Amino acid sequence: HGTSKINDQGHLEIGGVDTLELVAEYGTPLYVFDEALVRQRCREFVEAFRASGLKFQVAYASKAFCVMAMCRIVEDEGMSLDVVSDGELYTALQAGFPAERIHFHGNNKTISEMEMAIDAKIGCFVVDNFTELELLNVIAGEKRQKVNILLRITPGVEAHTHEYISTGQTDSKFGFDLGNGSAYKAIQQASALPNLDLLGIHSHIGSQIFEVEGFAMAAEKMASFAVQVRDELDVTFRVINLGGGFGIRYVSEDTPLPVAVYVKAITDAIKSNFGQNDYPLPEIWVEPGRSIVGDAGTTLYTVGSAKDIPGVRKYVAVDGGMTDNPRPALYEAVYEAGLANRAAEAPEEVVSIAGKCCESGDMLIWDVNLPKVKAGDILAVSCTGAYNYAMASNYNRIRRPGVVFVKDGESDLVVQRESFEQIVGNDVIPNRMKQVS
């Protein structure tokens, strides 16, 4: 998919670059992003919304993969950016991302995060709870600024997704519940606070969702709530944000729909629920993360040791693992892989790919069909663009890999591989331990 193909030498090529050349230049493990595919995904969202005729903002959920070069692409594609921490905000600002297109999320924004974001004059806060509502109003007042907000609503829509990553059900740490009246109370309160400008409401029903029904249902619930609030409280929403969660194809069994289908379901639901009863059509915002970067990422590893347990299983170990991709260990996420150096060869054996960390749970793929694997082969795991680098760690003091963007036959390093100096960079040896040699 994307610009990936097998070249004349039988090697995996991405963005017109032979992945073995990338390995020679940057080493392994290495995250490789197909920049053209990232941009294509951005445009699929933007064009589908444009086709709807509604006013819109597509905010890339930077939690999926937040580095400065990615922020540049998002800006270049005319999109907005969703951040959830001071670190993501800092990254965006350092990359020169326009502050007015930044939306700040999170269920426990600290005072210093709110101050930093107000000082930067970001476009909107997505307020999650009553504590934040009051605090934000106070801080905005101290800074003599009026701050745009959305209220995050928990609409009680359960999307078909992995239990650990669903956030739409009522028993959730996120948002104001629609069902028990706390959303209603939050609207009353927010619209009375002098330093906040309530633009509208937000919902996020889960992640890696394939069905359109969940989005349409959320849109309908938001709409009937909007009409109720307009009629009873005289508050009209200008913005409805339906969050992210659009599914991608990790393995061949996954069956996501084209982006345009999700967008049409959402915009149709908005059009058929607003724009009547004298309710002006709101602006519609979404926050895709995974579906922008997920399938554009490939991780390259070098194969090292193997352990064959006859009649049981063959383990093949690579030079990375849960430190660069914790998703299999955390969510039982599944991935497909191939050999980048022998991409045209037919599969010959079923092996399981182990990482190099000191724990049994450090497995990348159980049972993958590959040509006879040997030490020195380059393993390419696909669809690692989302929540891989973003969730990488230094467990076992393993250095995080570098990240490369490839496009039109060129490669650009956008994140250097971590250095040993960085590994010990924050360590401090107390004076009393220092030895005079």
Binding-site members for substrate are 290, 327, 331, 359, 387
Q: Please state, in angstroms and as integers, the Cα–Cα distance from residue 398 to each residue in 174, 208, 282, 422, following that order.
A: 33, 29, 48, 11
**Lookup: tokens for 28:** 């392994």
C-alpha closest to that of 301 among 33, 18, 27: 27
Select from 61, 92, 329, 351 the one that contacts ligand LLP (CB under 6 A): 61
Select from 35, 177, 287, 324 the one that contacts ligand LLP (CB under 6 A): 287
Told to check if 246 binds ligand LLP by CB under 6 A, we report yes
- Alpha helices per DSSP H over 167-212: 182-192
3-state secondary structure of 197: strand
Nearer to ligand LLP, 101 or 342 (CB): 101
Over the window 11 to 30, marking each residue x when it contacts ligand LLP by CB under 6 A and - when it does not, the resulting string is --------------------
Residue 61 Cβ vs ligand LLP, minimum distance, rounded to whole Å: 4
Told to check if 207 binds ligand LLP by CB under 6 A, we report yes
Nearer to ligand LLP, 60 or 184 (CB): 60
311-330: which residues touch ligand LLP (CB under 6 A)?
Answer: 327
* Amino acid at the residue 312: V
Told to check if 132 binds ligand LLP by CB under 6 A, we report no
Residues 6+ apart with CB under 8 A from 174: 107, 128, 152, 154, 167, 204
Residue 173 Cβ vs ligand LLP, minimum distance, rounded to whole Å: 11
Told to check if 355 binds ligand LLP by CB under 6 A, we report no
The rounded distance, in Å, linking the Cα atoms of 88 and 121 is: 15
Residue 105 Cβ vs ligand LLP, minimum distance, rounded to whole Å: 5
3-state secondary structure of 392: coil
Told to check if 103 binds ligand LLP by CB under 6 A, we report no
Segment lying near ligand LLP (by CB under 6 A), choices 73-81, 243-251, 265-273, 401-409: 243-251
Nearer to ligand LLP, 19 or 320 (CB): 320
Residues 6+ apart with CB under 8 A from 16: 3, 406, 407, 408, 409, 410
List % helix, strand, coil for the chain (3-state, nearest 5): 35, 25, 40
Residues with a catalytic annotation lie at 358
Helices (H) and strands (E) in the chain, counts: 12, 21
Cβ atoms of 203 and 154 closer than 8 Å: yes
Where on the chain is the footprint of ligand LLP (CB under 6 A)?
61, 64, 82, 105, 165, 167, 204, 207, 243-246, 287-291, 327, 331, 387
